[in-house]
Amino acid sequence: MMCEPKAVSGRIRVPMADGEPRRPLNNQGGVA
């Protein structure tokens, strides 16, 4: 599920392809 588009991952989780590793931040939107 971590291969989602940025439009979706931005509010669900941030894939490593986005530059941010999988962190608890994904629950807060993924963008720190």
Per-residue pLDDT, 25: 54
Residue for token pair 């941010």? 20
Q: Which amino acid is at 19?
A: G
Give the model's pLDDT for residue 32: 45
pLDDT at residue number 31: 52
For the chain, the structural domain boundaries read 1-32
Distance (Å) of CA 10 to CA 1, 5, 21:
13, 8, 13
Q: HEC states along the chain?
A: CCCCCHHHHCCCCCCHHHCCCCCHHHHHCCCC
Provide the residue-wise pLDDT of the chain in tens; the chain has 32 residues: 555 555 555 565 655 555 555 555 555 555 54
Q: What is the pLDDT of residue 15?
A: 58
